[in-house]
C-alpha cells in the first residue's frame, strides 16, 4: 500500500504547484528508473554537490562509498542532506525563447543519513545498490569479503521528507505566437546503452550476460 | 589560450587524486557537452540541490529562471554556491561487487553568483543558454520582449574555483579475481534523442528543422 506524503514547509513547492507531487508511487518510480543522485551537504558553510549511485529498499534510500570519502564521513555525522534525482525526458522547443523548457521527472529528498552498522542490512543495501544499477548483477559476482565490507561505508536515508516534480507535454506558447512560422514541439531524450565492451583481460570463453547485452532503464 | 587552474583547498581532490583534473580545456569540454547542472545552496542551514539548464560564455557560467524562483532569489544575494555537472559515460562491471564503478566526467564549480543587470549581457547569456541546449535555436525563435526580460533573472558564476574528475577504462579487479568465471567490462551509456514530436498546434506546413531532426550531444 502506498500513501501520499504530506509536504513539509521545506518541500512544499513555491512556484508552479501543479508540477508538484507527493505521491509515493510516482516518487518510487522516478527513484527506480534513475540511478545517479546528486547529494548536497554543507561543510564550514560551503555547500557541496556530489553525484553518486544509490539503491532503494522500501522507504529507505541507501548511499555507499569508501569509508575514507569526505562526503560520506560528513553525512555520517547526521548533518542535513538534500538528495536530488532527475530524469530528463525531453527538450521542449517553443516559438519564443522565453517559453523553452524541458520535460523531466525529479525527486528531492531532505533529511539526515544514518550509518548502517548491521552486517545483514549492509549486505542488503549493497545488493540493492548493485542491482539497482545493473539488475541481476549481485548474484553473478564475488560478494564483498570482510575487509571490503569494513572499507565500505553504507548510509541510510529515510524517504520521509520527499517530493517529486514533473513536466510533460508540448510547449505552451503565448496565444499570439502560435501563428509564427517556427517549428515547435518536443525532442524526446533517453539514456541509451551501446553494446558491452569486454574487459581486455576477460577469459576468452566468457560471453556478456543478458543484463549487459540488453541493458536498458 | 587556456591555462590550468590552481586547485584551492576546497576543490583539491582528497581521494584518488589521479582522477582529478584542473585542465581548463577538459572542464569546458564537459560543461559544453552536458546541459543540466545541479545547483547546491544553503537556506537556513539546509542544503538544497536543484537541477537546471545553463550556458557558458568564456570563463562565465550563466543560470537563468523566473525572477520569482526561490533558488535564484537566494543565489542573487551572493551566497556560496556549488554547481555540479556530470556525464555518465558507462557502467563498469567488475568480477567482484566491490570493484563495480562508473565511467564519468564531472565538473564542480564553487563561488558566488552575481545578477546580470546589463541588458546586452543578459541577452548574450540567454542566447548562450538557449543555444547551449539546442544549437542554432536562438536565431529561429521570437526573442524575449521587455516584459519577459524583466521576468527573467540571469545569474553569472565565474569559472575560477573549478575542477574536473574523470574515470575511463575497464574495471580494475583484485589480481586473484581475474580467473573468476564472471563477465567483466563496460556498458557504454549515452544520452540519445528520438525523432522530434511536433506540437499538436503546429501550423501544418512547418517541418522540424535540422537542429530538432538530428539532435545529438
Beta-strand pair A152-158/A114-115: antiparallel
Tell me the fold of B17-213: Pnp Oxidase; Chain A (2.30.110)
Please name which of A189, A213, A195, A61 lies closest in space to residue A134, comparing C-alpha atoms: A213
Average pLDDT, chain A: 92
In degrees and rounded to multiples of 5, residue B19 shows phi and psi of -85, -5
Residue of A nearest to B105 (CA): A51
Q: In the predicted model, what is the mean pLDDT of chain B?
A: 92
B206-to-A89, A102, A180 alpha-carbon distances in Å? 24, 21, 10
**CA dist list (Å): A53 to A61, B40, B113:** 10, 18, 28
pLDDT tens profile A122-156:
999 999 999 999 999 999 999 999 999 999 999 99
pLDDT, tens digit, 9 for 90 and up, residues B27-55: 999 999 999 999 999 999 999 999 999 99
CB contact (8 A) between residue A196 and residue B187: yes
Quote the cell numbers at residue A147. 575487509
In angstroms, the CA A159 to CA A109 distance is 7
Residue B3 backbone phi and psi in degrees, to 5: -140, 160
Rounded distance between C-alpha atoms, residue A122 and residue A139, angstroms: 16
* CB contact at 8 A, A167 and A100: no
Q: Using CA coordinates, name the residue in chain B closest to A42.
A: B47
Q: pLDDT band at residue A8, thresholds of 50, 70 and 90?
A: low
Q: Which residue in the set A46, A95, A126 is minimally distant from B80, CB to CB? A: A46
Distance CA A5, CA A12 (A): 11
> Please, which pLDDT band fits residue B16 given cuts at 50, 70 and 90?
very low
Going by C-alpha positions, the residue among B159, B48, B188 that lies closest to residue A215 is B188
Give the per-residue pLDDT at B1.
34
Cβ distance of B206 and A183 shorter than 8 Å: yes
Cβ-nearest to A68 among B15, B88, B108: B15
State the DSSP code for B196: P
C-beta atoms surrounding A150 within 10 Å: 10
d(CA A126, nearest CA chain B) in Å:
8
CB pairs under 8 A between A and B: 275
Do the Cβ atoms of B84 and B40 come closer than 8 Å? Answer: yes
| Reported confidence tier of residue A23, pLDDT bands at 50, 70, 90 | confident
CA atoms of A140 and B180, how far apart (whole Å): 10
Contacts of B69 in chain A (CB under 8 A): 15
Tell me what pLDDT residue A156 has.
98
Partners of A188 on chain B (C-beta within 8 Å) are: 193-197
Whether residue A2 is predicted with pLDDT greater than 60 in this model: the reply is no
- DSSP per-residue letters across B78-110: T-EEEEEEEEEEEEEE-SBGGG-EEEEEEEEEE
pLDDT at A71 > cutoff 70? yes
**Euclidean distance between CA atoms A20 and A107, whole angstroms:** 10
The pLDDT-based confidence of B17 (bands split at 50, 70, 90) is very low
* Contact at CB, A15 and B88, closer than 8 angstroms: no
Exposure b/e, B31-51, CB count within 10 A at least 16 = b: beebbbbbbbbbeeeebbbbb
Instruction: Tell me which of 3.90.228.20, 3.10.20.30, 2.30.110.10, 3.30.470.20 is the CATH number of domain A17-88+102-168.
Output: 2.30.110.10
> In terms of pLDDT, which residue wins out, B43 or B12?
B43
| pLDDT band for position B9 (cuts 50, 70, 90) | low
Q: Which of A191, A103, A215 is nearest to B190 (CA)?
A: A191
**C-alpha pair distances (Å), B119 with each of B30, B122, B173:** 28, 5, 55
- Helix intervals (H) in A4-140: 24-33, 70-75, 119-133
Q: What is the pLDDT of residue B101?
A: 97
CA distance to A10, A133, B82, B95, B129, per residue, from B180 (Å): 49, 22, 42, 7, 49
Please state the ipTM of this predicted complex. Answer: 0.91
Instruction: Write out the three cell numbers for A175.
Output: 496565444
Distance from CA of B26 to the nearest CA of A (A): 18
pLDDT in tens, B139-175: 999 999 999 999 999 999 999 999 999 999 999 999 9
**Cell digits for A83?**
538528495
The C-alpha of A77 sits at a distance from chain B's nearest C-alpha, in angstroms, of 15
d(CA B54, CA A12): 25
Question: What's residue A172's pLDDT?
Answer: 98
Per-residue pLDDT at A21: 62
pTM for this model (two decimals):
0.92
pLDDT of residue B19: 56
Amino acid at each position: 500500500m502506498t500513501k501520499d506524503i504530506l509536504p513539509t514547509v521545506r518541500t512544499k513547492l513555491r512556484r508552479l504547484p501543479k508540477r508538484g507531487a507527493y505521491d509515493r508511487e510516482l516518487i518510487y518510480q522516478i527513484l527506480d528508473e534513475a540511478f545517479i543522485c546528486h547529494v548536497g551537504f554543507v561543510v564550514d558553510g560551503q555547500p557541496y554537490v556530489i553525484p553518486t549511485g544509490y539503491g532503494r529498499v522500501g522507504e529507505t534510500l541507501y548511499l555507499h562509498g569508501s569509508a575514507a570519502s569526505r562526503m560520506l564521513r560528513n553525512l555520517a555525522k547526521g548533518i542535513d542532506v538534500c538528495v536530488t534525482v532527475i530524469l530528463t525526458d525531453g527538450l521542449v522547443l517553443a516559438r519564443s525563447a522565453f517559453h523553452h523548457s524541458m520535460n523531466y521527472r525529479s525527486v528531492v529528498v531532505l533529511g539526515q543519513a544514518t550509518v548502517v552498522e548491521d552486517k545483514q542490512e549492509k549486505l542488503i543495501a549493497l545488493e540493492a545498490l548493485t542491482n539497482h544499477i545493473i539488475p541481476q548483477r549481485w548474484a553473478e559476482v564475488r560478494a564483498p569479503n570482510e575487509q571490503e565490507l569494513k572499507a565500505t561505508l553504507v548510509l541510510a536515508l529515510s524517504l520521509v521528507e520527499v517530493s517529486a516534480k514533473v513536466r510533460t507535454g508540448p510547449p505552451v506558447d503565448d496565444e499570439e505566437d502560435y501563428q509564427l512560422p517556427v517549428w515547435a514541439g518536443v525532442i524526446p531524450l533517453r539514456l541509451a546503452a551501446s553494446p558491452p565492451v569486454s574487459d581486455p583481460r576477460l577469459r576468452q570463453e566468457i560471453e556478456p550476460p543478458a543484463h549487459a547485452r540488453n541493458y536498458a532503464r
